[in-house]
Amino acid sequence: MNSLSHLEKKKKIRYMVTICIFLCLIFTTFLLSMDAGLIHLSPIDVLKVLVNHGTSQQELILFDFRLPRIVISLLVGSGLAVSGAILQGITRNSLADPGILGINVGAGLVVVLFISFFSSMQVVPVFALPFAALMGAVLTATLIYILTYKKGQGLSPMRMILIGIAVASGIEAALIVLTIHLDPRQLQFVTIWLAGSIWGTNWNFVLTLLPWILILMPLAFSKARVLNILNLYEDVSKGLGMAIEKERLILLGIAVGLAGSCVAVGGNMGFVGLIGPHLARKLVGPKHQFLLPASALSGSLLLIVADTLARLIVQPSEIPTGILVSIIGAPYFLYLLAKSKA
């Protein structure tokens, strides 16, 4: 008994350390990220602006361009990673990510439709894009839910995964057909969107995204215990007296809300949702009380680092952040994978 509580304590310390390291790294990157961009600002300039002693040009750059973008990447990263953690928990499948709910492809399809619809116009109304994307994401998730639901049996995770694959493949097929008919300029735009790039870069987008995160994230954290139980075998959780169906539906709703709103603003960054929770799990273990906050931070860190690099490597054109997420995240993930014990 003593050794068990000792073990528990050790895990807790490990968790605290991980969280602290994450926070430090995020803060450092945050400072670096403020400096990076087409117009370089030194850290001292940044500090000056922050304490209200900068030039108006520096203020404009920092407060109206860089800061909102940084905040958005933090929010999007945490939202997607927590969404992924929830989905991996309720489906008990380590390959699950927001993509299995068709969120990415659903949003992508609507974006492509949107662009081909407005092809006659010179300027695509970019500001309306997040809403279109969110609509696509939510519609797809709803479709998958309706198809999965069966009277008397409710939602089986296995069936949800299979239906998710099928719906996503159908939408992907439609995407292939549609992209062939786009003209090269539009296709370039769509390719960049699908590769994932932070869209919203002003405070309005932050304000749109913030309520989702602020409401859904604490809700998710409060369900950590439920997720632990759902992650066990279904019969066990039933035996423990849980209203599985209801809980699963709530959690699913949280996951869709988080991922949908994040994809809408941040573009297609599915990989954060897959890899964020895995990184966190490798570091703090499978207990959701630890896992969810750690996932949120790892997702944020991943995205802010990728976004900073995306702005550093601006020549000749900015690389979509989603691509950098994969390029940074995948090797580290593979390293962890190779190092881990069975």
Closest CA to 157 of 263, 275, 285, 249: 249
Closer of 55 and 119 to other proteins (Cβ): 119
Q: What is the DSSP string of 80-116?
A: HHHHHHHHHHHHT-TT--GGGGTHHHHHHHHHHHHHH
Inter-helix orientation angle 2-35/270-284, to 10°: 140
Closer of 216 and 263 to other proteins (Cβ): 263
Q: Do 332 and 298 form a contact (C-beta atoms < 8 A)?
A: no
CB of 136 to other proteins, least distance (A): 17
CB of 85 to other proteins, least distance (A): 15
CB of 106 to other proteins, least distance (A): 14
CB of 158 to other proteins, least distance (A): 7
CA distances from 141 to 99, 144, 220, 267, 338 (A): 10, 5, 18, 17, 34
Closer of 58 and 179 to other proteins (Cβ): 179
Q: Do 198 and 272 form a contact (C-beta atoms < 8 A)?
A: no
**Contacting positions for other proteins (CB under 8 A):** 93-96, 100, 147-148, 150, 153, 156, 158-159, 161-163, 165-167, 169-170, 172-174, 176-177, 179-180, 184, 187-188, 191-192, 194-195, 271, 274-275, 278, 317, 319-320, 322-327, 329-331, 333-334, 337-342
Closer of 179 and 208 to other proteins (Cβ): 179
CB of 210 to other proteins, least distance (A): 28
CB of 310 to other proteins, least distance (A): 11
Q: How far apart are CA 23 and CA 17, in angstroms?
A: 10
Structure tokens at 80: 């997607």
Q: Name 150's bridge partners.
A: 154
Q: How many CB atoms lie within 10 A of CB 16?
A: 12
Closer of 223 and 268 to other proteins (Cβ): 268
Closer of 304 and 325 to other proteins (Cβ): 325
Structure tokens at 315: 């020549």
Question: Around 56, how many Cα atoms within 13 Å sit in the side-chain half-sphere?
Answer: 0
Closer of 43 and 331 to other proteins (Cβ): 331
CB of 157 to other proteins, least distance (A): 10
